[in-house]
Structure formats: structure tokens, C-alpha cells
Structure 1
Amino acid sequence: MNLSMQKILSGTIVLDLTRFFSGPQATLFLAGMGAQVVKIDDPATGDPTAFSPPYAGPGGVSFQRTSDADMGLAYLKRARGKQSVMLDLKSDAGREVFLRMAAGADVVIDNFSAGVADRLGVGYDALAAVNPGIVYCSLTGYGSTGSDRHLKAYDLMVQAAVGLMSVTGEAGGPPVKTGSPLSDAIAGVFAASGILAALLHRQRTGCGQAVDISMADCLFSLMFDEPFDCYEQLGLPQRQGSRIMRFSPFNVYRSRDGWVVLGAATAADWTALLGAMDRRDLADDTRMNDLGWRIAHNAQIDAIVSAWTEARGTGDIVNALHAAKVPCSPVRGIDEVMQWRQLRERGMVVPVHNPMTGTDMGASAPGFPIKFSDSQAGYDTPAPVPGAHTQEILETLAGLSPQRIEELAARGVVRRAQSSPSQ
């Protein structure tokens, strides 16, 4: 086999204690790069998304479970490429088994509330005692330090807390969250990046370490490139709608049959836009050619652009601006996005597979977003049936005998494959 075409993280063992979105997003990326990601869930409760609405099963996608083979759509997306073990970390026996697993693992990640892992006896200090090279990532709403570290948080609370909602929406309107849970997704990406950096550090030094990821920190670090703290001095409302205040025009505009976005970030963009709009009469207007003036008088600029877009179809606008090399895009609905040739050519729209039916569902999931020239990447297996790998992993990674696993199963410490939450 060509070693250069192996996955980058092949041979890396990740013990995944996360649930919901932020942590599973991080381990999904690690799985896509070849890590052996072992999901570990409580036998009594399982993964909270595995059998939660919306469901995907033989009858399609629905909010009601109509078949024993229906599984949670979020789980089917987020657990791809992973293995599933059900182990009770609250029991002494379960904790002992986990420490045996951690001794041979490379990475452990949790998104418990701050301090929970330590109380369970599976925090970084406990694991480093059995494996000094372990990389331990804790992913929380507000971080493992600070006065608000114990607050419970979901994406909505984090978007509100760091101010993203206060700057999203139209001027004079109410605060609005982004359409998808960005703080969860972004924190997952940062967690994967931090884990990769810590693994590189371990390769260089032989030492593991703890990685502390805060959803609030991650979201704030990305949104605050924009000088929101200076808006008042600049005479700008905090909510700017779809525009970027550093450029003009740079906004969403109504067309005859929909919406388009376009923007002029450079003098060349502005000149090209004037040509495409057949407004060369403005090319010699010194005020119009001054970016600062256009920003200060953005309403006038938007009126000029809107007069042109509203008289034309979206396709005609996009074709004209692409020909002029002006950045633009139609505002696609989700149905159109699913058919967008560019995403499909890059393998970014893939079917969701249900392991309990053995078939693809009438829903899609994102493909792996990073493309390597000399390494494979992607999700080789669908989401597992919960507990499907309990026996295998406890034998190989924890070194338990089949008899010992049987004893633990009888006591409820471990659980093997299940077909529904009631089994």
C-alpha cells in the first residue's frame, strides 16, 4: 500500500466522551482524517441524539418514530466513521475499564460541564497518571477557568453572550441568531485543531497535555475581527444587515425573481461593476471613486445598485457580473444548494445511511471538507448502532476477557448493541 495515501491520523486512538454537537463535530473531523474514534456512552441513557427527532428510517424523515429502525438524523450525521461502546463511567468498575482504555489511547475528549470529568475520576490528571502522553481536550461553553465556567450553555446562549446576536439582523430590528448553530460548529473545528497541535507537540517532545476549548472564546475570536467596539465612534448602528461596513457596495439586493449578493472590495471591483451596470457615467465622479465617501453614503450606492438588479433576473445578473469578474452569488435556497454542481463535484453532499436498515435515507450529510493531495480523507463507515463495538473494543483496547465483559454486562456496567432505546 502507498503509505502516502493512508489517512493522516491512521493509528490514532480517540476516546470520545462528547455528545450533542460541538464535541461530536470535533471527533467527526478526526475520524475523517483516519483516527479510530471510540464513542463512549452511558448504558442507561445512550447518546441523546441516537433516538431523538427528527428521525430517519424506512418511512422517511419525521418527528415521530414510526419504526424500530428509525434513528436520530443528527446522530446519523455526527457519528459517521466512529465506533460505539456503552460503558458506565459512574461505576468503579466502569472507571477502571476506562482507565485501561486510556492507557493505550492517544486522545480523550469530553464536553462535560467544567469539573465533571475530574469528579468522575477521568479528568486529565487521572489519565496522565496512567498515560503521560495522553492529549485531553475539554470543550465547554465558557471554558475550564473563569467566573462563569460552571454555567450551562448551548449555542443560543453563547451567541447571545458574546454579542453575535446583537450585531445580527437589520438595523432597528431585534437580535437574531445565525441560521445554524455556529458556536457549536466553530468550537468543534477549534477543538480538532487544538488536538492536532497537541499531537504534533507530543511527537516533538513526548509529552501529552490538556487542551481547554471554550465555545464563547472560539466564536468571539472569529467575530471580533470586525471592529464592533468602534461602530459608535463611526456613527454606525450595531446591526448592519447583510452588508460589510468596510466596503460599498457590499450587500444583498433584490432581483426580478429572487436575491443576489455582490460586493466591490477593491477599486477594480467598483470600476468593473460600473461597466457591468452600464453606469460608466459615474466612473469619473471623484466622490463615487472614493471608498470612504461610498461607505459614508452607502444608502445612495445601494439605491444605484438596486435599480439595476431589480430590473433583471438573477441568472442575468450573475452571468453579467461573473463575466466582469465582480464577486457575486445568487442567494440559493436549500433545495438549490443540494443541487449545486460545485458542492457535488467536490463530494460535499452525501447520503445519510441508517445502520439499522442498511440503506441510505432520504436525507443528506456534508462530506469531508478538507482535501489533501497525498492523503485520503472521509468517513469510511456509517454511524454505528449504539453499543455495536463494545465487545470488540473492550477485548482489544481494555484487554478484557469475554468472561469479564459478560460479568460487566450482567451488572449493567457495559452494554452491547441495541436496536432501540427500550432494549
Structure 2
Amino acid sequence: MTKRILDGVKILDLTRFFSGPQCTLFLAGLGAEVIKIDDPDVGDPTAFSPPFAGPHGVSFERRSRQDMGIAYLKRARSKKSTTLNLKSAEGRALFMRMVRRADVVVENFSAGVADRLGLGYDVLREVNPSLVYCSLTGYGSTGPARNLKAYDLMVQAAVGLMSITGQPDAGPTKAGSPLSDAIAGLFAAFGIVAALNYRQRTGQGQSVDVSMADCLLSLILDEPLDCYRELGLSFQQGNRIMRFSPFNAYQSADGWVTLGTASNDDWRTLLDVMGRSELKDDPDIMSIAWRLSNNAAVDQIVSAWTLSLTTAEIEQRMRSARIPCSPVRTIDDVLAWEQIAARNMAVSLWNPLAEAKMNVKAASFPLRFGNAEVGYDTPAPVPGAHTEEVLREMAGVDAAEFEWLRERRII
């Protein structure tokens, strides 16, 4: 069988909700053995939280004992599920036995919580000096905001994304999906893989400090936002970017399309396609600087043309001219798009309690390698399904100890 990128890497996953589980989902897709550890009384908060998917479809109410949370079914794929009470001395001692055989620990507690539980990096590295320890928080483990509680909405607001999203002069708008969580999960996975590479070369483990705010800001500041005021630009550019014109979403006869030109050569080609070749003699229209300062006039020219054609007609003409263009697809359109089908990027979720596929889609692993298998081989498990298997292998727990642990609600 083809080896997987992270074959043999054991990860203890203490994360909750989205950012942390997104990180470990990516690592599982690369072949790591990800072991979710949840409290035996509370469990994973998303496992039985709305919206649900079950034998009767999707709903906000749990309509059968087989209904499970959609978020859990997506984020727990290819992971093992164990229960362990880390607030008990016995649970922490058992966890330390597991840490000795682990490669990575990932947590997204609020800053300082892991240390208060006795599970911080300084403690764990005494048990396993080669351990890679990733801490994922809203604002990082240092700085005056480190103890603030954060959800995606607050992080998008805090680093300015909401102030630059939406149409000019509109109120603050967040991105349509929880970007700061998703991006931080990706950066955390990237940091862990980098730390594992470092360990392979040096033999040394280390900590990885991931801030949702830092990760989101690192992507936003590629744009020269601090120069917008001097350039006379609105911070909210809608569907535009400040370097190209035209570059926008335009209404067609039956929907919307996006198109844009990155150079005067592209603009000349677009003018020919639109039947407006005479404008190539206008020095203003042919000046990128003028177009950037007069986007409304440029958009009016393009819109007059797109409104006269269907989306499919526009897309066909743009493709022939090699001008970047895409219809604005709904999610239903995306799931029906042949490109997504060709790359098998949307798959049906399996509900382990219902023992059936749900009419709910999740994204497949997004990377492809030439000589390694990737992907989510197993569905989300029944919560706690792997407790005995994992503790037997990683902590040497025998049958008598299992009984003792169960009686005391440690597992």
C-alpha cells in the first residue's frame, strides 16, 4: 500500500468546536492517528448539538436517538474517540502515560487553562521531551488580549476584516463562513507538520502557539489597507480589488457572473468581445489609473453588455477570449458542478448511530500527492468508541484497571 504522509504519527486531540478540530481533521487526512479525548460526562459538545442529521433528515430538533450533530459528523472523520476525565488526578495520570507514546498534543482551551489543569507544555515536555505541543487560541498566549474569550465573529471584528467586507458605506459585515476558525486550523496543521519536520532533523520537540487573530491578519495585510485613505479609496470595496478594473460581479440576463482584467491587453480583448473596440482610442479608458479612479463608469460599460446575455453565453465568450470569468454559483450549483465531482470534493456523511449515509455533504481532503494516499478513510465514530483500544495501546490499561476507571467515571 502507498504510504501516507503522516503514517505513524500519534496525535492526542483535546480540541473543541471548529478551529482545533479543523486542524486535526487535516492531520488525519494526511494519515496521522488522531485520538479525540472528551470528558466522559460532557463529551464532544458538537456530537449532539443542532443542526442534526438522522434517519428523518436534517433538523434543529433531535427527532430520534440516531440523530447526530452535523458539525461532529464532519469534523470527527478519520479520528478515534476516547473518554477521559482530565479534571481528576487519576485521569491526568492516565493522560501522562499516553503522552509518553504520543507525537503531538493539540488543545484550544482558553489561554492559561491547560496550565491550570496541569496539562501545559512545560509539564508535558518533562514527560516526553520530543513532544510537539500546539496551543490554539483566539489571540495567542502572549499580549494584553491573551485572556479574552473569542469566537470567529469577534476575531473578524478585532483584526479589521469586518470593516473591509461589504459594499462601500455599508455597515460592518463578516465573511459568510467562519474564516478565522478555518484559517487558524489550517495554520495550526502547518505549524505542527513544520515542528515534526524540525524534530526529525534535530530530535527536539517544541510548542506551537497559534492565534486566530494573527492568522487572519497575516492574510488580510497582503492588501495595502494602511494606504487606502491616502489613495482616496473606500475600505469596503465590495467585490472589487483596488489593483484591477474592471473587476467585479456583474448581473447577466439570468444571474450573475464575475470577470476581471489584470492588464491592458486583457482590457483590449474584453472591449473587442463586448463590441466596444472604439473605446481603445480613448486615452482615459485605456489608462489603468483612470479606470481605478472611475470604476463606476467602467462597471457601467461592462454591465450594459452582461445584462444583454445569459450567464452561459458570457462564460463561453470569456473562455474563448481567455478572460477570467465564473458564474456566481449557489451552494446547490457548486455541489452539482462537474469540477467538484471530478475531484470528488464533496462526499456524503455517514452517521454511525443510524448506520447510514446522510443527505448532507462534507468536503473531502483538499490536497493531492503524486506518491502518497490522503483522505478521510473512516467516518466520525460513536463518541467514546475507541476508549479501551486506545488506553490499552497507549497507557497499558488492563481489564481490571478498566473496571476501576469506569466505576469512578474517569473514563
Smaller-chain TM-score bracket: over 0.9
Structure 1 residue corresponding to 2:6, chosen from 2, 6, 9: 9
2:91 maps to what in 1? Answer: 94
Q: Which runs of 5+ in 1 are unaligned?
A: 415-423
Structure 1 residue corresponding to 2:291, chosen from 269, 272, 294: 294
3-state SS in 2 of match to 1:319: helix
How far apart, CA to CA, are the structure 2 residues paired with 1:268 and 1:214? 42
1:204-215 correspondence to structure 2 within 5 Å = 204-215=201-212
1:13-32 correspondence to structure 2 within 5 Å = 13-32=10-29
1:239 maps to what in 2? Answer: 236
3-state SS in 1 of match to 2:359: strand
Q: Which residue identity is paired with 1:380?
A: D
Q: TM-score, normalised by structure 1?
A: 0.96
* CA offsets 1:289-340 (integer angstroms, 9 cap, x no match): 2211110111110010000011111111111101100001000011101101
* Poorly superposed stretches of 4+, deviation over 3 Å: none
Structure 1 residue corresponding to 2:272, chosen from 262, 272, 275: 275
Structure 1 residue corresponding to 2:380, chosen from 370, 383, 403: 383
1:48 maps to what in 2? Answer: 45
How far apart, CA to CA, are the structure 2 residues paired with 1:369 and 1:276? 35
Confirm whether residue 373 of structure 1 aligns to residue 353 of structure 2.
no
1:179 maps to what in 2? Answer: 176
1:418 maps to what in 2? Answer: none
Confirm whether residue 73 of structure 1 aligns to residue 47 of structure 2.
no
* CA offsets 1:170-201 (integer angstroms, 9 cap, x no match): 11111000110000000000000000000000
How far apart, CA to CA, are the structure 2 residues paired with 1:66 and 1:22? 28
How far apart, CA to CA, are the structure 2 residues paired with 1:102 and 1:403? 22
How far apart, CA to CA, are the structure 1 residues paired with 2:266 and 2:402? 66
Structure 2 residue corresponding to 1:333, chosen from 330, 335, 350: 330
* CA offsets 1:19-63 (integer angstroms, 9 cap, x no match): 100000000000000000000011111000000000000001110
1:61 maps to what in 2? Answer: 58
How far apart, CA to CA, are the structure 2 residues paired with 1:276 and 1:353? 48
2:119 maps to what in 1? Answer: 122
Structure 1 residue corresponding to 2:81, chosen from 73, 84, 94: 84
Confirm whether residue 104 of structure 1 aligns to residue 110 of structure 2.
no
Shift of 1:279: 1.3
2:164 maps to what in 1? Answer: 167
Confirm whether residue 407 of structure 1 aligns to residue 400 of structure 2.
no
Shift of 1:282: 1.4
1:343 maps to what in 2? Answer: 340
3-state SS in 1 of match to 2:376: coil
1:135 maps to what in 2? Answer: 132
How far apart, CA to CA, are the structure 1 residues paired with 2:251 and 2:148? 42
Q: Which residue identity is paired with 2:330?
A: G
How far apart, CA to CA, are the structure 2 residues paired with 1:57 and 1:402? 34
3-state SS in 1 of match to 2:22: helix
RMSD between superposed Cα atoms in Å: 0.7
How far apart, CA to CA, are the structure 2 residues paired with 1:7 and 1:278? 53
How far apart, CA to CA, are the structure 1 residues paired with 2:9 and 2:391? 17
How far apart, CA to CA, are the structure 2 residues paired with 1:300 and 1:294? 8
1:149 maps to what in 2? Answer: 146
3-state SS in 1 of match to 2:357: strand
Q: Which residue identity is paired with 2:342?
A: E
Structure 2 residue corresponding to 1:197, chosen from 176, 184, 194: 194
Q: TM-score, normalised by structure 2?
A: 0.99
3-state SS in 2 of match to 1:157: helix
How far apart, CA to CA, are the structure 2 residues paired with 1:54 and 1:182? 20
Q: Which residue identity is paired with 1:310?
A: L
1:420 maps to what in 2? Answer: none
Matched pairs, number = 411
Q: Which residue identity is paired with 1:7?
A: R
1:227 maps to what in 2? Answer: 224
How far apart, CA to CA, are the structure 1 residues paired with 2:154 and 2:247? 29
Structure 1 residue corresponding to 2:245, chosen from 244, 248, 261: 248
3-state SS in 2 of match to 1:363: strand
How far apart, CA to CA, are the structure 2 residues paired with 1:118 and 1:383? 29
3-state SS in 2 of match to 1:184: helix
